[in-house]
Structure 1
Amino acid sequence: MLRIPNLTVREQLYTYLTEAYQQADLFEIDFSVLSSLVKGMAYRGEWEPVFRFFAQELERQSAIREFIDGEAHVKGFLLAYLGLTQGYILLPEYESSKGYADFYMMPDLVRQPDIVYSYIVEVKYARRDTSDAVIALLKRDAAEQLRRYADDGKVARTKGNTQLGLITLVFKGWELVALEKLASRADCENESEA
């Protein structure tokens, strides 16, 4: 049985829903644009436009109070958007032998065997007053985590022949301040052999 745990949460949900209905166009999503962007990500490795689109939508649709939860809000929003598309099986908080990746975008090779790219995404969140030095540390931490996750045997088995992209997203409040792609060790080795 689902129920709202207390009056404070009930008020938050009620306020959110009534404001959303008053601004119904706020939740309009152009599925054709989103699908086209994810298709470019899957088949041509054009990953940046997907996350820039997401960041614009996050800023457009989120109220300042929703960033109280910070990273959880950003991750939930990203999961909702990516879940609307095809091509990937989304594994949030993917458990590897090396920790928990925020998102493993495992290619759906059964339905779409010709996908070329797969991704692991690490999301970092900082308050709006965070210094550039702290942002740099967050990016470095994300890069280290991504490389560890990419070395996991489960990722190697499930990515098929796709090229694995390691994506870092750093948000400062609702602003996307870092959007970087690292090559996995295996992909670097394959490129050097060619």
Structure 2
Amino acid sequence: MKRSLGRRIEMEIPNNCVKEQYWSFMRDYFNRSIHIDIIALQDEMDRMSFDGDWKPLIQRIATAYNENSSIRDSILGEHNLQGFFKAYLALNSLYLVEPEIELNYGFGDFLMLPDKERYPDIAHSYILELKYLKPTATDAEV
């Protein structure tokens, strides 16, 4: 700890060796971070919105989740999956994404309402219900 100011604490890395270890860790972490192809994602969102072709977008998000989740993430199961989908779906401006919306038959994980104010030509809205399968799920369970 270098100094404190009220409830704030200014931390200091004690020496160059430890500083290099921290920076190496941070570089490696960011190099392994998720890379999102925004253009391809926007293209898929456009096809979903205007053509009703939703499968490529959902497959892209599911594949990204599979590639970037860990065993620790599987402990939280469906909540972790919902958070991942919510982050991806929030990248679009075409829809208002409402999580855990109450519908006549229960709750849907996401209700995607077209933003008709800005995009009156959007022809499709969606209700997404996610189901998390454990890594050990059999074909019969899928």
Q: If the TM-score is normalised by the length of the shorter chain, which range does it land in?
A: 0.7 to 0.9
Match of 2:28 in 1: 22
Shift of 1:19: 6.7
Match of 2:97 in 1: 90
Structure 1 ranges of 4+ moved more than 3 A? 18-21
Q: Which runs of 5+ in 1 are unaligned?
A: 1-17, 136-194
What SS is found at the alignment partner of 1:109?
A: coil
Q: TM-score, normalised by structure 2?
A: 0.75
Preserved contact between residue 91 and residue 104 of structure 1 (Cα < 8 Å): yes
Structure (1/2) with the larger strand percentage: 1
Preserved contact between residue 35 and residue 86 of structure 1 (Cα < 8 Å): no
Counterpart pick for 1:128 among 130, 135, 141: 135
Distance 1:38 1:83, change over 3 A: same
Preserved contact between residue 54 and residue 81 of structure 1 (Cα < 8 Å): yes
Kindly indicate whether residue 52 of structure 2 is the aligned counterpart of residue 60 of structure 1: no
Shift of 1:43: 0.4
Distance 1:20 1:36, change over 3 A: farther
Deviates further, 124-133 or 75-84:
124-133
The alignment covers a number of residue pairs equal to 118
Percent identical among aligned pairs is 36
Q: TM-score, normalised by structure 1?
A: 0.56
Structure (1/2) with the larger helix percentage: 1
Match of 2:119 in 1: 112
What SS is found at the alignment partner of 1:123?
A: coil
Q: Which runs of 5+ in 2 are unaligned?
A: 1-23
Distance 1:96 1:61, change over 3 A: same
